[in-house]
Amino acid sequence: MSKLIPPHGGKGLTVCLLEGAALEAEKKKAAGLKKVTISPRVKGDLIMIGIGGFSPLTGFMTKADWKSVCDKFLLADGTFWPVPVTLDVTKAEADAVKSGDEVALFDPEGNEIMATMKVTEKWEMTDADKKYECEKIFMGEGTKTAEDFWKIAKDDHPGVQMVMKQGPVNLAGTVKVLSEGEYPKKYAGVYHRPAESRKIFEEKGWSEIAALQLRNPMHRSHEYLCKIAVEVCDGVYIHSLVGNLKPGDIPAEVRVKCIDALVKHHFVEKNVVQGGYPLDMRYAGPREGLLHATFRQNYGCSRMIIGRDHAGVGDFYGMFEAQTIFDKIPKPKEAGKALLCSPLKIDWTFYCTKCDGMASLRTCPHGKENRVILSGTMLRKILSEGGAMPDHFGRDEVVAILREYYEGLTEKVKIKTHKAATGE
pLDDT of residue 411: 67
- Terminal C-alpha separation, the chain: 49
What is the overall mean pLDDT for the chain?
Answer: 92
Residue 378 or 233, more confident: 233
What pLDDT score does 414 carry? 58
pLDDT at residue 245, rounded to an integer: 65
Nearest of 418, 392, 229, 247 to residue 319 by alpha carbon: 418
Contact status, residue 393 vs residue 220, Cβ threshold 8 Å? yes
Interatomic CA distance for residues 42 and 372, integer angstroms: 39
Nearest to 330 by CA among 79, 137, 132: 79
Choosing from 215, 282, 308, 380, the catalytic residue is 215
Question: DSSP 3-state helix, strand, coil percentages of the chain (rounded to 5)?
Answer: 40, 20, 45
Cα 188 vs. chain centroid, distance in angstroms?
A: 19
Helix-helix angle 396-407:252-266, to 10 degrees? 160
DSSP state of 320: T
Cα dihedral 51, 8, 213, 265, rounded to 10, equals -80
Do the beta carbons of residue 173 and residue 119 sit within 8 Å? yes
CA atoms within 13 A of residue 245's CA, in its CB half-sphere: 19
Is residue 354 predicted with pLDDT exceeding 60? yes
Q: Is the pLDDT of residue 163 over 90?
A: yes
216 catalytically annotated: yes
Spell out the domains of the chain, with CATH numbers in brackets.
20-125+166-181 (3.10.400.10), 188-422 (3.40.50.620)
Model confidence at 29, pLDDT cuts 50, 70, 90, reads very high
pLDDT, greater one: 376 or 32: 32
Residue 162 backbone phi and psi in degrees, to 5: -65, -45
Of the candidates 216, 244, 271, 298, the residue annotated as catalytic is 216
Phi-psi label, residue 56: left if phi above 0, alpha if psi -120 to 50, beta otherwise? alpha
DSSP sequence for 232-267: HSSEEEEEEE-S---TTPPPHHHHHHHHHHHHHHHS
Are 60 and 175 spatial neighbours (Cβ–Cβ below 8 Å)? yes
Distance CA 140, CA 164 (A): 18
pLDDT tens digits, one per residue of 144-157: 799 999 999 999 99
List pLDDT tens digits, range 191-233: 999 999 999 999 999 999 999 998 888 888 899 999 999 999 9
Q: Report how far residue 221's alpha carbon sits from residue 352's, in angstroms, rounded to the nearest whole number.
A: 12
Q: Does the pLDDT at position 31 exceed 60?
A: yes
Answer yes or no: is pLDDT of 287 > 50: yes
Residue 287 catalytic?
no
Section 281-306 average pLDDT: 97
